[in-house]
Amino acid sequence: MSDATSNPIPEPTAGVDGDLAARAAQLDAEDGLGKLRERFTLPDGVVYLDGNSLGALPAAVPDAMSDVVRRQWGELLIRSWDESDWWTAPERIGDRIAPLVGAAPGQIAVGDSTSVNLFKALVGAARLAAPGRTRMLVDATTFPTDGYIAASAARMTGLEIVPVDPSGAAERMTADTAVVLLNHVDYRTGRLHDLPALTRAAHAAGALVVWDLCHSAGALPVGLDAHGVDLAVGCTYKYLNGGPGAPAYLYVAARHQDGFDSPLPGWNSHAEPFAMTPEYEPARGAARARVGTPDILSMLALESALGVWEGVDVADVRAKSLALTDFFLECVAAYVPAGKVEAVTPAGHAERGSQVSLRCGNAREVMAELIARGVVGDFRAPDVLRFGFTPLYVGFADAERAARTLGHIFG
Protein backbone atom coordinates (compact mmCIF):
# COMPACT_ATOMS: atom_id res chain seq x y z
CA MET A 1 0.00 0.00 0.00
CA SER A 2 1.16 3.50 -0.77
CA ASP A 3 1.47 6.14 1.90
CA ALA A 4 -1.41 8.61 1.77
CA THR A 5 0.67 11.49 3.09
CA SER A 6 3.72 11.10 0.86
CA ASN A 7 1.77 10.04 -2.23
CA PRO A 8 -1.45 12.06 -2.43
CA ILE A 9 -4.02 11.50 -5.17
CA PRO A 10 -3.14 13.64 -8.21
CA GLU A 11 -5.68 15.86 -9.87
CA PRO A 12 -7.18 14.48 -13.09
CA THR A 13 -5.03 15.05 -16.16
CA ALA A 14 -5.54 14.80 -19.89
CA GLY A 15 -6.65 11.50 -21.36
CA VAL A 16 -9.01 9.11 -19.59
CA ASP A 17 -8.79 11.01 -16.28
CA GLY A 18 -9.67 14.30 -17.87
CA ASP A 19 -12.46 12.86 -20.00
CA LEU A 20 -14.18 11.20 -17.05
CA ALA A 21 -13.70 14.21 -14.79
CA ALA A 22 -15.17 16.46 -17.49
CA ARG A 23 -18.14 14.12 -17.93
CA ALA A 24 -18.68 14.10 -14.19
CA ALA A 25 -18.72 17.90 -14.12
CA GLN A 26 -21.23 17.99 -16.96
CA LEU A 27 -23.47 15.38 -15.32
CA ASP A 28 -23.40 17.32 -12.06
CA ALA A 29 -24.29 20.52 -13.89
CA GLU A 30 -27.33 18.79 -15.43
CA ASP A 31 -28.40 17.05 -12.19
CA GLY A 32 -31.79 18.28 -11.02
CA LEU A 33 -31.15 16.86 -7.54
CA GLY A 34 -27.68 18.38 -7.19
CA LYS A 35 -28.90 21.42 -5.27
CA LEU A 36 -30.18 19.14 -2.50
CA ARG A 37 -26.63 18.69 -1.25
CA GLU A 38 -27.07 22.12 0.35
CA ARG A 39 -29.59 20.53 2.71
CA PHE A 40 -26.80 18.52 4.36
CA THR A 41 -23.71 19.25 6.42
CA LEU A 42 -20.73 17.39 4.95
CA PRO A 43 -17.00 17.77 5.65
CA ASP A 44 -15.00 19.58 2.99
CA GLY A 45 -12.82 17.35 0.85
CA VAL A 46 -14.57 14.12 1.77
CA VAL A 47 -16.37 11.81 -0.64
CA TYR A 48 -18.96 10.15 1.56
CA LEU A 49 -20.11 6.80 0.16
CA ASP A 50 -21.29 5.18 3.38
CA GLY A 51 -24.80 6.59 3.58
CA ASN A 52 -26.04 3.00 3.39
CA SER A 53 -24.61 2.62 6.91
CA LEU A 54 -25.14 6.12 8.36
CA GLY A 55 -26.68 8.97 6.43
CA ALA A 56 -25.16 12.44 6.44
CA LEU A 57 -26.37 15.15 8.83
CA PRO A 58 -29.25 17.24 7.47
CA ALA A 59 -28.36 20.89 8.04
CA ALA A 60 -31.63 21.72 9.83
CA VAL A 61 -31.26 19.09 12.55
CA PRO A 62 -28.90 20.90 14.98
CA ASP A 63 -31.19 23.92 15.36
CA ALA A 64 -34.26 21.71 15.60
CA MET A 65 -32.65 19.66 18.34
CA SER A 66 -31.59 22.79 20.18
CA ASP A 67 -35.25 23.78 20.33
CA VAL A 68 -36.30 20.31 21.46
CA VAL A 69 -33.74 20.26 24.26
CA ARG A 70 -33.75 23.90 25.40
CA ARG A 71 -37.39 24.91 24.95
CA GLN A 72 -39.54 21.80 24.67
CA TRP A 73 -37.73 19.82 27.36
CA GLY A 74 -35.96 22.61 29.25
CA GLU A 75 -38.85 25.09 29.52
CA LEU A 76 -42.10 23.27 28.82
CA LEU A 77 -41.00 20.10 30.58
CA ILE A 78 -43.83 17.55 30.90
CA ARG A 79 -46.22 19.92 29.12
CA SER A 80 -44.49 19.12 25.82
CA TRP A 81 -46.25 15.78 25.61
CA ASP A 82 -49.34 17.83 24.77
CA GLU A 83 -48.15 21.32 23.80
CA SER A 84 -45.29 20.12 21.56
CA ASP A 85 -47.30 17.10 20.41
CA TRP A 86 -44.74 14.55 21.56
CA TRP A 87 -47.43 11.94 22.10
CA THR A 88 -48.43 11.62 18.45
CA ALA A 89 -44.85 11.58 17.11
CA PRO A 90 -44.70 7.84 16.26
CA GLU A 91 -47.69 7.99 13.91
CA ARG A 92 -47.05 11.56 12.70
CA ILE A 93 -43.50 10.72 11.64
CA GLY A 94 -44.71 7.40 10.25
CA ASP A 95 -46.99 9.33 7.94
CA ARG A 96 -43.97 11.34 6.73
CA ILE A 97 -42.11 8.14 5.90
CA ALA A 98 -45.16 6.58 4.25
CA PRO A 99 -44.88 8.26 0.82
CA LEU A 100 -41.20 7.30 0.62
CA VAL A 101 -42.15 3.62 0.78
CA GLY A 102 -45.43 3.83 -1.12
CA ALA A 103 -47.85 3.61 1.78
CA ALA A 104 -51.01 5.52 2.58
CA PRO A 105 -51.17 7.32 5.94
CA GLY A 106 -52.09 5.43 9.08
CA GLN A 107 -50.04 2.28 8.50
CA ILE A 108 -46.60 3.08 9.93
CA ALA A 109 -45.53 3.56 13.53
CA VAL A 110 -42.03 4.85 14.28
CA GLY A 111 -40.15 3.68 17.35
CA ASP A 112 -37.93 0.95 18.78
CA SER A 113 -35.11 -0.64 16.79
CA THR A 114 -35.34 -2.57 13.54
CA SER A 115 -34.74 -5.79 15.48
CA VAL A 116 -37.60 -5.12 17.90
CA ASN A 117 -39.94 -4.18 15.06
CA LEU A 118 -38.95 -7.27 13.12
CA PHE A 119 -39.78 -9.44 16.14
CA LYS A 120 -43.19 -7.79 16.39
CA ALA A 121 -43.77 -8.22 12.66
CA LEU A 122 -42.78 -11.89 12.48
CA VAL A 123 -44.73 -13.01 15.53
CA GLY A 124 -47.68 -10.87 14.47
CA ALA A 125 -47.57 -12.37 10.97
CA ALA A 126 -47.40 -15.91 12.36
CA ARG A 127 -50.47 -15.20 14.49
CA LEU A 128 -52.29 -13.86 11.44
CA ALA A 129 -51.39 -16.89 9.31
CA ALA A 130 -53.86 -19.63 8.49
CA PRO A 131 -54.00 -22.46 11.06
CA GLY A 132 -51.94 -25.57 10.46
CA ARG A 133 -49.05 -23.96 8.65
CA THR A 134 -45.67 -24.97 9.99
CA ARG A 135 -42.84 -23.12 8.23
CA MET A 136 -41.22 -19.70 8.28
CA LEU A 137 -39.07 -19.04 5.19
CA VAL A 138 -36.14 -16.75 5.94
CA ASP A 139 -33.72 -15.07 3.54
CA ALA A 140 -30.52 -17.11 3.94
CA THR A 141 -28.39 -14.10 2.94
CA THR A 142 -30.01 -11.76 5.44
CA PHE A 143 -28.26 -9.45 7.86
CA PRO A 144 -27.45 -11.72 10.83
CA THR A 145 -29.78 -10.02 13.31
CA ASP A 146 -32.76 -10.78 11.10
CA GLY A 147 -31.86 -14.46 11.30
CA TYR A 148 -31.47 -14.35 15.08
CA ILE A 149 -34.81 -12.60 15.53
CA ALA A 150 -36.55 -14.95 13.10
CA ALA A 151 -35.27 -17.99 14.99
CA SER A 152 -36.64 -16.60 18.26
CA ALA A 153 -39.98 -15.69 16.66
CA ALA A 154 -40.22 -19.19 15.18
CA ARG A 155 -39.59 -20.80 18.58
CA MET A 156 -42.30 -18.65 20.12
CA THR A 157 -44.87 -19.50 17.45
CA GLY A 158 -43.97 -23.15 16.88
CA LEU A 159 -42.78 -22.69 13.31
CA GLU A 160 -39.84 -24.34 11.57
CA ILE A 161 -37.20 -22.02 10.10
CA VAL A 162 -36.39 -22.77 6.46
CA PRO A 163 -33.46 -20.75 5.01
CA VAL A 164 -33.99 -19.83 1.35
CA ASP A 165 -32.08 -17.95 -1.30
CA PRO A 166 -34.36 -15.10 -2.40
CA SER A 167 -33.72 -15.94 -6.07
CA GLY A 168 -35.36 -19.34 -5.51
CA ALA A 169 -37.71 -18.44 -2.69
CA ALA A 170 -40.89 -18.56 -4.77
CA GLU A 171 -40.40 -22.26 -5.50
CA ARG A 172 -40.10 -22.97 -1.77
CA MET A 173 -43.40 -21.32 -0.86
CA THR A 174 -45.92 -24.10 -0.30
CA ALA A 175 -49.16 -24.78 1.54
CA ASP A 176 -47.10 -25.33 4.70
CA THR A 177 -45.61 -21.81 4.60
CA ALA A 178 -46.97 -19.39 7.17
CA VAL A 179 -44.55 -16.44 6.91
CA VAL A 180 -41.83 -15.34 4.52
CA LEU A 181 -39.08 -12.90 5.59
CA LEU A 182 -37.04 -11.27 2.82
CA ASN A 183 -34.67 -8.33 2.38
CA HIS A 184 -35.51 -5.90 -0.38
CA VAL A 185 -31.80 -5.20 -0.98
CA ASP A 186 -28.99 -7.51 0.11
CA TYR A 187 -26.81 -5.55 2.53
CA ARG A 188 -23.56 -7.16 1.37
CA THR A 189 -23.90 -7.30 -2.41
CA GLY A 190 -26.46 -4.58 -3.13
CA ARG A 191 -28.67 -7.04 -5.05
CA LEU A 192 -32.26 -5.81 -5.36
CA HIS A 193 -34.85 -8.57 -5.00
CA ASP A 194 -38.17 -8.61 -6.84
CA LEU A 195 -40.58 -7.40 -4.17
CA PRO A 196 -43.71 -7.45 -6.36
CA ALA A 197 -43.15 -10.96 -7.74
CA LEU A 198 -42.08 -12.50 -4.43
CA THR A 199 -45.01 -10.90 -2.62
CA ARG A 200 -47.38 -12.34 -5.23
CA ALA A 201 -45.78 -15.76 -4.84
CA ALA A 202 -46.18 -15.67 -1.05
CA HIS A 203 -49.83 -14.73 -1.35
CA ALA A 204 -50.43 -17.40 -3.99
CA ALA A 205 -49.18 -19.91 -1.43
CA GLY A 206 -51.44 -18.42 1.23
CA ALA A 207 -48.55 -17.02 3.27
CA LEU A 208 -47.84 -13.57 4.67
CA VAL A 209 -44.68 -11.73 3.72
CA VAL A 210 -42.50 -9.44 5.85
CA TRP A 211 -40.01 -7.23 4.02
CA ASP A 212 -36.88 -5.65 5.49
CA LEU A 213 -36.47 -2.26 3.79
CA CYS A 214 -33.31 -1.07 5.54
CA HIS A 215 -31.29 -0.81 2.33
CA SER A 216 -34.04 0.38 -0.01
CA ALA A 217 -36.24 2.94 1.74
CA GLY A 218 -35.13 6.39 0.62
CA ALA A 219 -33.09 5.02 -2.27
CA LEU A 220 -35.72 3.59 -4.61
CA PRO A 221 -39.49 3.17 -4.95
CA VAL A 222 -40.91 0.39 -2.77
CA GLY A 223 -44.66 0.39 -3.37
CA LEU A 224 -45.86 -1.32 -0.20
CA ASP A 225 -49.54 -0.65 -0.82
CA ALA A 226 -49.44 -1.11 -4.58
CA HIS A 227 -47.87 -4.56 -4.26
CA GLY A 228 -49.98 -5.75 -1.35
CA VAL A 229 -47.17 -6.18 1.18
CA ASP A 230 -48.42 -7.46 4.54
CA LEU A 231 -45.81 -6.10 6.95
CA ALA A 232 -42.47 -4.34 6.60
CA VAL A 233 -39.74 -2.94 8.81
CA GLY A 234 -36.88 -0.57 8.23
CA CYS A 235 -34.30 1.64 9.88
CA THR A 236 -34.10 5.40 9.43
CA TYR A 237 -30.39 6.10 9.87
CA LYS A 238 -29.27 5.07 6.38
CA TYR A 239 -30.89 6.66 3.33
CA LEU A 240 -33.44 8.48 5.53
CA ASN A 241 -30.60 10.30 7.39
CA GLY A 242 -32.23 10.14 10.82
CA GLY A 243 -28.96 9.96 12.77
CA PRO A 244 -27.09 7.24 14.65
CA GLY A 245 -29.48 4.86 16.37
CA ALA A 246 -32.52 6.71 15.02
CA PRO A 247 -35.78 4.85 15.67
CA ALA A 248 -36.96 2.29 13.16
CA TYR A 249 -40.50 1.78 11.88
CA LEU A 250 -43.10 -0.92 11.41
CA TYR A 251 -45.62 -1.02 8.57
CA VAL A 252 -48.79 -3.03 9.12
CA ALA A 253 -51.12 -3.00 6.12
CA ALA A 254 -54.50 -1.52 6.99
CA ARG A 255 -56.26 -4.78 6.19
CA HIS A 256 -54.26 -6.57 8.92
CA GLN A 257 -54.37 -3.96 11.67
CA ASP A 258 -57.48 -5.17 13.50
CA GLY A 259 -56.06 -8.68 13.68
CA PHE A 260 -52.45 -7.73 14.44
CA ASP A 261 -51.55 -9.32 17.78
CA SER A 262 -48.25 -7.82 18.90
CA PRO A 263 -46.02 -10.00 21.06
CA LEU A 264 -44.96 -6.81 22.90
CA PRO A 265 -48.18 -5.16 24.08
CA GLY A 266 -47.13 -2.07 25.97
CA TRP A 267 -49.01 0.74 27.61
CA ASN A 268 -48.37 2.99 24.61
CA SER A 269 -50.31 0.64 22.33
CA HIS A 270 -53.29 0.43 24.69
CA ALA A 271 -56.59 1.81 23.47
CA GLU A 272 -56.74 3.94 26.64
CA PRO A 273 -53.12 4.26 27.74
CA PHE A 274 -53.81 6.59 30.64
CA ALA A 275 -56.62 4.49 32.07
CA MET A 276 -53.89 2.27 33.56
CA THR A 277 -56.14 -0.78 33.56
CA PRO A 278 -54.73 -4.26 34.22
CA GLU A 279 -56.47 -5.63 31.12
CA TYR A 280 -54.93 -4.95 27.72
CA GLU A 281 -57.07 -3.60 24.91
CA PRO A 282 -55.10 -2.79 21.75
CA ALA A 283 -55.36 0.59 20.08
CA ARG A 284 -56.76 0.92 16.60
CA GLY A 285 -54.57 1.65 13.58
CA ALA A 286 -50.81 2.05 13.47
CA ALA A 287 -50.65 2.85 17.19
CA ARG A 288 -51.22 -0.85 17.84
CA ALA A 289 -47.55 -1.37 16.89
CA ARG A 290 -46.26 0.90 19.66
CA VAL A 291 -44.81 -0.54 22.87
CA GLY A 292 -43.36 1.84 25.48
CA THR A 293 -42.60 5.52 25.86
CA PRO A 294 -41.25 6.94 22.57
CA ASP A 295 -37.60 7.97 22.40
CA ILE A 296 -38.44 11.61 21.88
CA LEU A 297 -34.99 13.12 21.30
CA SER A 298 -34.02 10.80 18.45
CA MET A 299 -37.62 10.71 17.20
CA LEU A 300 -37.72 14.48 16.73
CA ALA A 301 -34.24 14.54 15.20
CA LEU A 302 -35.61 12.12 12.62
CA GLU A 303 -38.66 14.31 12.04
CA SER A 304 -36.43 17.27 11.28
CA ALA A 305 -34.19 15.14 9.06
CA LEU A 306 -37.12 14.06 6.93
CA GLY A 307 -37.48 17.68 5.86
CA VAL A 308 -34.77 17.08 3.26
CA TRP A 309 -37.38 15.13 1.27
CA GLU A 310 -39.60 18.14 0.71
CA GLY A 311 -40.38 18.36 -3.01
CA VAL A 312 -38.35 15.23 -3.85
CA ASP A 313 -39.76 12.44 -6.01
CA VAL A 314 -38.38 8.99 -5.13
CA ALA A 315 -38.53 8.08 -8.83
CA ASP A 316 -36.02 10.87 -9.55
CA VAL A 317 -33.82 9.59 -6.72
CA ARG A 318 -33.86 6.13 -8.27
CA ALA A 319 -32.96 7.46 -11.71
CA LYS A 320 -29.97 9.34 -10.30
CA SER A 321 -28.94 6.34 -8.20
CA LEU A 322 -28.73 4.14 -11.27
CA ALA A 323 -26.87 6.80 -13.22
CA LEU A 324 -24.38 7.26 -10.37
CA THR A 325 -23.70 3.57 -9.94
CA ASP A 326 -23.40 3.08 -13.71
CA PHE A 327 -20.87 5.91 -13.89
CA PHE A 328 -18.91 4.66 -10.89
CA LEU A 329 -18.61 1.19 -12.42
CA GLU A 330 -17.46 2.77 -15.69
CA CYS A 331 -14.82 4.78 -13.84
CA VAL A 332 -13.65 1.73 -11.90
CA ALA A 333 -13.21 -0.17 -15.15
CA ALA A 334 -11.18 2.73 -16.57
CA TYR A 335 -9.00 3.45 -13.52
CA VAL A 336 -8.43 0.13 -11.75
CA PRO A 337 -6.02 -2.35 -13.34
CA ALA A 338 -7.73 -5.43 -14.75
CA GLY A 339 -8.17 -8.28 -12.31
CA LYS A 340 -7.74 -6.21 -9.15
CA VAL A 341 -11.43 -5.91 -8.27
CA GLU A 342 -14.58 -7.83 -9.14
CA ALA A 343 -18.06 -6.31 -9.01
CA VAL A 344 -20.46 -8.44 -6.98
CA THR A 345 -23.37 -6.04 -7.39
CA PRO A 346 -25.57 -7.03 -10.35
CA ALA A 347 -25.04 -5.04 -13.54
CA GLY A 348 -28.73 -5.04 -14.44
CA HIS A 349 -30.76 -2.13 -13.16
CA ALA A 350 -33.67 -4.34 -12.13
CA GLU A 351 -31.39 -6.19 -9.71
CA ARG A 352 -29.30 -3.32 -8.32
CA GLY A 353 -29.95 -1.30 -5.19
CA SER A 354 -28.15 1.98 -4.49
CA GLN A 355 -24.73 0.58 -3.72
CA VAL A 356 -21.80 -1.02 -5.48
CA SER A 357 -19.86 -3.81 -3.83
CA LEU A 358 -16.44 -4.80 -5.12
CA ARG A 359 -14.50 -7.90 -4.13
CA CYS A 360 -10.73 -7.64 -3.85
CA GLY A 361 -7.71 -8.96 -2.00
CA ASN A 362 -6.69 -7.12 1.16
CA ALA A 363 -10.09 -5.44 1.18
CA ARG A 364 -9.82 -4.28 4.77
CA GLU A 365 -6.51 -2.53 4.09
CA VAL A 366 -7.74 -1.06 0.81
CA MET A 367 -10.78 0.47 2.49
CA ALA A 368 -8.65 1.86 5.31
CA GLU A 369 -6.44 3.60 2.77
CA LEU A 370 -9.42 4.92 0.83
CA ILE A 371 -10.76 6.46 4.02
CA ALA A 372 -7.35 7.94 4.81
CA ARG A 373 -7.47 9.59 1.38
CA GLY A 374 -10.91 11.07 1.96
CA VAL A 375 -13.12 8.46 0.27
CA VAL A 376 -15.38 6.91 2.92
CA GLY A 377 -16.98 3.58 2.14
CA ASP A 378 -16.97 0.46 4.27
CA PHE A 379 -15.59 -3.07 4.45
CA ARG A 380 -17.56 -6.28 4.80
CA ALA A 381 -15.75 -9.50 5.67
CA PRO A 382 -14.05 -11.25 4.19
CA ASP A 383 -13.25 -9.34 0.99
CA VAL A 384 -15.90 -6.76 0.05
CA LEU A 385 -15.53 -3.00 -0.46
CA ARG A 386 -18.98 -1.45 -0.16
CA PHE A 387 -19.90 1.96 -1.61
CA GLY A 388 -23.32 3.47 -0.94
CA PHE A 389 -24.67 6.14 -3.29
CA THR A 390 -27.13 8.51 -1.64
CA PRO A 391 -28.47 10.65 -4.50
CA LEU A 392 -29.56 13.52 -2.28
CA TYR A 393 -25.95 14.48 -1.55
CA VAL A 394 -23.61 12.33 -3.68
CA GLY A 395 -22.62 13.67 -7.10
CA PHE A 396 -20.91 12.34 -10.20
CA ALA A 397 -17.64 14.06 -9.34
CA ASP A 398 -17.71 12.13 -6.06
CA ALA A 399 -18.07 8.87 -7.99
CA GLU A 400 -15.22 9.77 -10.34
CA ARG A 401 -12.89 10.78 -7.52
CA ALA A 402 -13.65 7.61 -5.56
CA ALA A 403 -12.85 5.38 -8.54
CA ARG A 404 -9.72 7.37 -9.39
CA THR A 405 -8.52 7.06 -5.80
CA LEU A 406 -9.11 3.31 -5.86
CA GLY A 407 -7.18 3.06 -9.11
CA HIS A 408 -4.28 5.03 -7.64
CA ILE A 409 -4.09 2.63 -4.68
CA PHE A 410 -3.80 -0.32 -7.03
CA GLY A 411 -1.55 1.50 -9.49
User: Annotated active-site positions, please?
Assistant: 143, 212, 237-238, 386
DSSP secondary structure of 137-153: EEETTS-HHHHHHHHHH
Helix (H) or strand (E) segment spanning residue 182: strand 177-183
One-letter amino acid of 26: Q
What is the distance between the alpha carbons of residues 146 and 384, in angstroms, rounded to a whole number? Answer: 21
Residues 253, 348: Cα–Cα separation, whole Å: 30
Burial tier of 279 (Cβ tally within 10 Å: 0-12, 13-18, 19+): exposed
Strands 384-388 and 355-359: antiparallel
SS3 of 315-337: the string is: HHHHHHHHHHHHHHHHHHHHHCC
Q: If DSSP codes are grouped into helix, strand and coil, which group holds residue 245? A: coil
> How far is CA 174 from each of CA 133, 160, 169, 179, 192, rounded to the nearest angstrom?
9, 13, 10, 11, 23
Task: Report whether 187 contacts 145 (CB < 8 A).
Answer: no
For the stretch 353-363, what's the b/e string if a residue is b when 16 or more beta carbons lie within 10 angstroms of its beta carbon?
A: bbbbbbebeeb
* Cβ(24)–Cβ(396) below 8 Å: yes
Task: Sort strands 47-48 and 208-212 into parallel, antiparallel or unpaired.
Answer: unpaired
* Angle between helix 16-30 and 396-410 (nearest 10): 160
Phi, psi for residue 208 in degrees, rounded to 5: -100, 150
Please give the single-letter amino acid code of residue 387.
Answer: F
